[in-house]
């Protein structure tokens, strides 16, 4: 699981919940944490490439955060995205979020873990149904 | 032993680079002079060393990784795993109390990791055992004090502390890490910046406990951690920079010596060749083909009688260079030009034939005919005997 969260403590809290739920985690502060985000460069982002699911909580009122979301959707179209979204979103963001799993902004780590588990369960059921 | 590669792709990329690196060296060696191959080798080694130094410098300074990682939790959902990393501070009362307190918390498992901090110098001088014994003694003291059944375990590591912690993440999967250091690095102690490096790399909470003589245990704030990171990163980078510089100097000196050696041997060869050419220019000219005859009873001796004789009895040749002799033996029997000291024995058959006279060493050699003919002439140079002058 890749967790994109600008706040270190909140990112670690989500990571801890997911770890106890049995997932290996990677936590990234996003484009505001360490300058240039590798996702927007030519090399791409190895953790995003390896992830089974990306949890994005970057606050999408900012352009760099939207860029990250756009890159994730373009470069890794098969990786599911779970995005924390604010209550009022503009048309551009609505279009960007189309097809993503959405969570209300400021979801607690427990809510995020539950949503991830529910999504993973659904994915396993779909796999079984497909088989 | 750790593999230097993280994946098969990395190993394959290394192999590909190795082949690409060797190709210009082989081409230079095959198509150009030896010194050119050495220069190409030096350039490739220099680029390689620069890249390795760059990567190593990043590691020495701390990678500044944007992404922290952690494996899934191990054990039951209620269990909490704590990794405590310490070395010289393991005997501190406050740390032992903390270990004891944590060991008493239900469902908590502790692992004490003691990096033995074995430097390359210690490995070379065989001082490993002493350092390991020290680490073992510290661990034993801590375990004696805090051991409660299976909840506390200990490990000594010979690896770099950060690598040892990484290994522990793979086997123990801690939910929290406590790093214990002093504010200044002691010879047998961990660097104060270790906690910051662990915090940057792993997605679990990290506590840093700093012990200084005469003062209570402290947990440094973000600014102090940044200062540790900066100061110790710079110091490690300077130390590495000096080592790298010394290594580059030695490598450059070795390569320059090799190039000089090759050039000097090439110059020596050229000088020897030109000296040989000069010497050859000073030697008397040698005819390409010498024509002569053997005629019976043709040359008058001092006593007035006619004797058998070669028309030419002195041959000027060069050492190692074959000389063609076209000999017309007008007699009905064979004769010879035989010089045992020069390794020459040419049997001259009746009729006109071409023979090769080859002498390998310089000097003046007497030759004579070994076939029984005119006995007097066989013993007198100028008749059926003579000299081979080899220059």
Secondary structure element (H or E) that encloses residue A103, with its range: strand A101-104
User: Considering only CB atoms, which chain A residues are within 8 Å of B81?
Assistant: none
CB-based contact B295:B374 (threshold 8 Å) = no
B69–A29 C-beta distance less than 8 A: no
Strand order in the sheet with B363-368: B314-317, B385-390, B363-368, B335-339, B344-348
Q: Which residue of A has its CA nearest to B70?
A: A25
Rounded Cα gap, residues B338 and B360, in angstroms: 15
Per-residue pLDDT for B179 more than 60? yes
Kindly report the nearest CA distance between residue B187 and chain A, in angstroms.
Answer: 33
B149 confidence band (pLDDT: 50, 70, 90): low
Q: Is A23 on the interface with B (CB under 8 A)?
A: yes
Residue B68 near residue B94 (C-beta atoms within 8 A): no
Spell out where chain B has E strands: 68-70, 80-85, 108-115, 152-157, 176-181, 206-210, 289-300, 306-310, 314-317, 323-329, 335-339, 344-348, 351-357, 363-368, 385-390
C-alpha triplet B222, B72, B173: angle, nearest 5°: 65
**For chain B, what percent of residues have pLDDT higher than 90?**
22
Residues above pLDDT 90, as percent of chain A: 27
Do A71 and A84 form a contact (C-beta atoms < 8 A)? no
- Work out the average pLDDT over B239-243: 80
Round the average pLDDT of chain B to a whole number and report it. 84
pLDDT of residue B64: 60
Q: Which residue has the higher pLDDT, B178 or B185?
A: B178
> What is the model's pLDDT at position B93?
85
- Going by pLDDT thresholds of 50, 70 and 90, the confidence category of residue B6 is low
Arithmetic mean of pLDDT, B140-159: 75
- Give the 3-state secondary structure of residue A35: coil
pLDDT digits 0-9 by tens, A112-130: 999 998 887 765 566 556 5
Q: Find the residue in A nearest to B80 (Cα).
A: A20
Contact (CB<8Å) B203/A11: yes
Q: What is the C-alpha separation between B18 and B10, in angstroms, rounded?
A: 12
Q: Is B143 a residue whose pLDDT tops 60?
A: yes
Question: Chain B contact for A12, CB < 8 A?
Answer: yes
- Lowest mean pLDDT segment, chosen from A10-24, B241-255, B327-341, B344-358: B241-255
pLDDT per position as a tens digit, B42-62 = 888 888 888 887 777 776 666
Please answer yes or no on whether B73 and A12 come within 8 Å at the CB atom.
no
B77 touches chain A (CB under 8 A): yes
> What pLDDT shows up at residue B293?
92
Q: What is the pLDDT of residues A67-87, one digit of tens each?
A: 888 888 888 888 899 998 888
pLDDT per residue over A85-105, tens digit each?
888 888 888 888 888 898 888
CATH 3.40.50.360 fits A2-130, yes or no: no
B170 contact A CB<8A: no
Mean pLDDT of B268-288: 76
Q: Which stretch of A12-16, A108-112, B96-100, B117-121 has the lowest confidence by average pLDDT? A: B117-121
Task: Give the whole-angstrom CA distance, residue B112 versus residue B90.
Answer: 9
Under 8 Å between Cβ of B89 and B189: yes
Instruction: State the smallest CA–CA distance between residue A14 and chain B in angstroms.
Output: 10
Copy the structure tokens of residue B117.
């901090």
| Cα–Cα distance measured from residue B2 to residue B254, given in angstroms and rounded to the nearest whole number | 30
* Chain A residues with beta carbon closer than 8 angstroms to that of B68: 12, 15, 26-28
Interval A11-37 mean pLDDT: 86
> Among A96-105, B73-82, B114-123, which stretch is predicted with the lowest mean pLDDT?
B114-123
For A7-21, what is the mean pLDDT?
A: 92
Please, are residues B133 and B116 in contact by the beta-carbon 8 Å criterion? no
Handedness of CA B27, B33, B34, B40 (dihedral sign): negative
């Amino acid at each position: 699981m890749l967790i994109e969260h600008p706040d270190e403590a909140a990112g670690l809290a989500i990571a801890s919940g997911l770890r106890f739920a049995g997932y290996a985690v990677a936590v990234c502060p996003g484009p505001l944490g360490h300058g240039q985000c590798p996702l927007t460069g030519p090399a791409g982002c190895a953790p995003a490439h390896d992830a089974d699911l990306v949890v994005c909580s970057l606050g999408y009122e900012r352009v760099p955060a939207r860029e990250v979301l756009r890159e994730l959707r373009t470069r890794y179209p098969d990786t599911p995205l779970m995005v924390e979204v604010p209550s009022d979103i503009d048309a551009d963001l609505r279009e960007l979020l189309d097809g993503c799993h959405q969570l209300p902004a400021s979801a607690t780590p427990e809510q995020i873990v539950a949503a991830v588990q529910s999504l993973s369960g659904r994915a396993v059921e779909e796999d079984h149904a497909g088989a | 032993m750790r593999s230097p590669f993280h994946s098969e792709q990395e190993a394959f990329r290394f192999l590909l680079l190795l082949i690409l690196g060797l190709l210009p060296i082989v081409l230079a060696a095959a198509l150009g002079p030896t010194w050119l191959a050495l220069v190409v080798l030096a350039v490739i080694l220099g680029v390689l060393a620069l890249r390795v130094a760059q990567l190593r410098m990043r590691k020495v300074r701390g990678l500044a990784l944007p992404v922290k990682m952690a494996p899934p939790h191990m054990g039951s959902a209620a269990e909490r795993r704590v990794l405590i990393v310490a070395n010289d501070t393991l005997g501190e009362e406050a740390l032992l109390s903390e270990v004891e307190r944590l060991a008493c918390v239900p469902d908590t498992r502790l692992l004490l990791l003691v990096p033995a901090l074995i430097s390359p110098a210690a490995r070379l001088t065989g001082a490993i055992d002493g350092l390991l014994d020290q680490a073992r003694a510290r661990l034993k003291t801590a375990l004696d004090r805090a051991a409660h059944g299976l909840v506390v375990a200990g490990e000594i590591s010979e690896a770099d502390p950060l690598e040892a912690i990484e290994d522990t993440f793979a086997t123990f999967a801690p939910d929290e890490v406590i790093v214990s250091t002093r504010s200044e690095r002691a010879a047998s102690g961990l660097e104060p910046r270790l906690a910051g490096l662990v915090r940057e790399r792993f997605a679990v909470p990290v506590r840093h406990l700093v012990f200084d003589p005469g003062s209570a245990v402290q947990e440094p704030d973000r600014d102090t951690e940044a200062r540790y990171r900066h100061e110790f990163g710079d110091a490690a980078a300077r130390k590495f920079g000096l080592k790298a510089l010394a290594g580059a100097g030695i490598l450059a000196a070795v390569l320059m010596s090799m190039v000089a050696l090759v050039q000097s041997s090439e110059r020596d060869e050229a000088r020897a060749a030109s000296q040989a050419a000069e010497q050859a220019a000073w030697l008397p000219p040698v005819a390409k083909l010498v024509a002569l005859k053997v005629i019976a009873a043709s040359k008058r001796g001092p006593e007035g009688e006619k004797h058998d004789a070669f028309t030419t009895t002195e041959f000027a040749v060069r050492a190692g260079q074959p000389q063609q002799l076209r000999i017309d033996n007008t007699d009905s029997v064979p004769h010879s030009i035989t010089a045992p000291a020069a390794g020459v024995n040419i049997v001259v058959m009746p009729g006109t034939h071409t023979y090769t006279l080859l002498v390998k060493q310089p000097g003046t050699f007497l030759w004579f005919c070994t076939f029984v003919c005119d006995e007097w002439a066989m013993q007198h140079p100028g008749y059926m005997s003579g000299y081979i002058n080899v220059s």
